[in-house]
Structure 1
């Protein structure tokens, strides 16, 4: 097991939120992990098979328009929106946090990231907490998983 695979694990939304305190350029990636991803820092477009110029990831940076709202709720949204990926992508796929540099955008307008520094895994407990937090909202929303007509 590589050092990247042996990363610390964060288990709560509060722990993920603390990672964001004063930092920029953090992303969450859903994959089998840095040991697999960093061998070739490129994702592939699922529809066309075209290699892209970095790893597909989702930004964790809190946007200014979020103002003084809960950072934990922000994190819950970011995690909840893609929580379906382990079921779609198969065994071993899980979320992890990285620092990186954007080099472009993928077909779903997601950032493509290089110069990746793995920081930590996100435990299933944090994903469950995100799902709970989202469903508690007055205007709950679904994941970004879309089904055909």
Structure 2
């Protein structure tokens, strides 16, 4: 595992789209980075996340897939990737300082309580600069039926 400082930084949405088009099995994770997520394990296959509601350990890191689904057909990959980023762009504000998006390659081993993939065999690929997230938000906003990020609010 490489430290986050050693990871390349993707500074534009187009760079991330290129990565998604070249690789399968990519996920985006919003956390304090791979060094925090992988620090206590002897193997990246043993990684785990914790369910925020119950505190239950989960077998793998919770992350969101970047692979384009077949039903997306010939629609722009940029819009697919932008949506995957924009949907969870609220997490740094909700989870606190030091939380940022990073891309990993891995294998889905289960599902978390929000139906999110749990990923093991984690290989950190890159971190995402805030400009990439800004470009994703702009790409979503340009769509005819735009919406904001997914967010749980008080009842």
CA contact (8 A) 2:86 2:140 kept: yes
Q: 2:83 is matched with which residue? A: 77
What CA distance in whole angstroms lies between the structure 2 residues aligned with 1:145 and 1:18? 28
Bigger drift between 21-30 and 55-64 goes to 21-30
- Say whether 1:56 aligns with 2:53: no
CA contact (8 A) 2:2 2:124 kept: no
Q: Which runs of 5+ in 1 are unaligned?
A: none
- Say whether 1:125 aligns with 2:124: no
TM-score of the pair, normalised by structure 2? 0.92
Q: 1:139 is matched with which residue? A: 145
Q: 2:18 is matched with which residue? A: 18
The SS at the match of 2:107 is: strand
User: Residues 76-107 of structure 1: CA distance to partner in whole angstroms, max 9, x if unpaired?
Assistant: 00000000000011111000000001110000
- Tell me which of 95, 102, 118 is aligned to 1:89: 95
Shift of 1:12: 1.0
Q: 1:33 is matched with which residue? A: 33
Q: CA RMSD in A?
A: 1.2
Shift of 1:9: 0.4
Q: Which runs of 5+ in 2 are unaligned?
A: 42-46
4+ residue runs of structure 1 moved beyond 4 angstroms? none
Q: Which has the higher helix share?
A: 2
May I ask how many residue pairs the two structures share in their alignment? 148
- Say whether 1:9 aligns with 2:9: yes
The SS at the match of 2:49 is: coil
CA contact (8 A) 2:86 2:136 kept: yes
TM-score of the pair, normalised by structure 1? 0.95
User: Residues 23-70 of structure 1: CA distance to partner in whole angstroms, max 9, x if unpaired?
Assistant: 211000000111010124111000000000000000000000111111
- Say whether 1:106 aligns with 2:112: yes
The SS at the match of 1:18 is: helix
